[in-house]
Amino acid sequence: MNDNKYILRAIELARQGMESNNGGPFGAIIVNDKGEIIGEGNNRVTSTNDPTAHAEVVAIRDACKNINDFQLENCTIYTSCEPCPMCLGAIYWARPARIVYACDRKDAADIGFDDDHIYKEIPLPINERQIPTDQLCRIEGVEVFKSWAAKSDKTEY
Amino acid sequence: MNDNKYILRAIELARQGMESNNGGPFGAIIVNDKGEIIGEGNNRVTSTNDPTAHAEVVAIRDACKNINDFQLENCTIYTSCEPCPMCLGAIYWARPARIVYACDRKDAADIGFDDDHIYKEIPLPINERQIPTDQLCRIEGVEVFKSWAAKSDKTEY
């Protein structure tokens, strides 16, 4: 098991990204079942004006680009901090086999990253969440979904 | 209120993206408090091999790039379908003022998109989730966080 080597690489990326002023102190890598690092990332939110550029998202996008696939089957994601809900959602869509993390959400909260707040919001009923949310034009929206269901040349994911 | 106009634009992007085989049948736009559309997106997962390229993420990245900011204060996101947890997390990080959606997660499930499964996984304790998850090298990870806390030239977000 090379888990230590890989998680330390993710932590190293966190430090490098922070010291380069790319963004917050977070790093992540994707490792395939041969032990090869197929994607790397560090947080780049503030340097690229992209609130989605968390380390895990950057690493997933990098790995998928490198292997020309939108799935990371049989891969492990090593991340220097427990994924926030956005990143955890991204991980579920990318479908790696395993997650290894170093710091947890409480450590993140201690330095001002409020992942825990988002973890609490997501399971709430829509009308109890902090961001006001309305549903509109469902019938028009569902028409497109029906077209998708009937579409013969679609690529499912 | 131009809510109808904007949500119908998001639905139109959903249809266009689907018909162009960009990805799934989802579209989103970002509108600022002047009523200007500052970002648009449709799902591009399968055409760009990017599992994070959901309509909302694409629209948020587009809007943030256009306004040179990593926050979408006072903006509304219109999305043709209730955001999945990844996208909802992205929305919380981008901090728009409001969300308007057309189809909901049950409509998405009806055409094969299992957002609901991810909604159920995210609030679970880590050891009860489907993706095996381990914590390792927390002490080494926290060292980087301490450096961030002490860093004098950081950009917070």
Comparing CB atoms, the residue among B52, B101, B145 nearest residue A90 is B52
User: Which chain B residue's Cα is nearest to A94?
Assistant: B51
CB A91 within 8 A of CB A77: yes
Report the 10 Å Cβ neighbour count for B149.
12
Given an 8 Å threshold on Cβ–Cβ distance, is B51 in contact with A70? yes
What the block records as the tokens of B38 is 């500052």
Q: Which helix (H) or strand (E) holds A19?
A: helix A3-19
pLDDT score for B63: 98
What is the SS3 assignment for A92-104? HHHCCCEEEEEEC
Mutate one of A93, A121, A147, A152 to test the B interface: name it (highest B CB count within 10 A).
Answer: A93
**Predicted ipTM?**
0.96
Which pLDDT tens digits describe chain B residue by residue (157 residues)? 699 999 999 999 999 999 999 999 999 999 999 999 999 999 999 999 999 999 999 999 999 999 999 999 999 999 999 999 999 999 999 999 999 999 999 999 999 998 889 999 999 999 999 999 999 999 999 999 999 999 999 999 8
Contact A103 B141 (CB under 8 A): yes
State whether residue B2 sits within 8 Å of chain A by CB: no
B94: nearest Cα among A48, A49, A84: A49
Q: Is B92 on the interface with A (CB under 8 A)?
A: yes
Q: 3-class SS at B137?
A: coil
Q: What is the pTM of this model?
A: 0.97
Q: Which residues contact B5 (CB under 8 A, 6 or more apart)?
A: none
**Above pLDDT 90, what percent of chain A?**
96
Q: Say yes or no: B128 contacts chain A, CB-CB below 8 A.
A: no
Q: Mean pLDDT across the stretch A81-95?
A: 97
Whether A1 shows a pLDDT value over 70: the answer reads no
| One-letter-per-residue 3-state SS of A50-93 | CCCCCHHHHHHHHHHHHHCCCCCCCCEEEEEECCCHHHHHHHHH
Query: CB B86 to CB A84 under 8 A?
Result: no
Give me the helix-helix angle, A3-19 and A55-67, nearest 10°: 110
- Asked if B116 reaches chain A (Cβ–Cβ under 8 Å), the answer is no
Is B142–A107 a contact, with Cβ atoms under 8 angstroms apart?
yes
| Contact between residue A18 and residue B144 where contact means Cβ atoms under 8 Å apart | yes
B25 touches chain A (CB under 8 A): yes
Q: Which of A11, A51, A96 sits opposite B70 (nearest CB)?
A: A51
d(CA B51, CA B11): 21
CA distance B53 to B46: 9
Cα–Cα dist A86/A82, whole Å = 11
**Chain B nearest C-alpha distance from A36 (Å):** 19
Distance CA A48, CA A88 (A): 21
Q: What are the catalytic residues of B?
A: 56
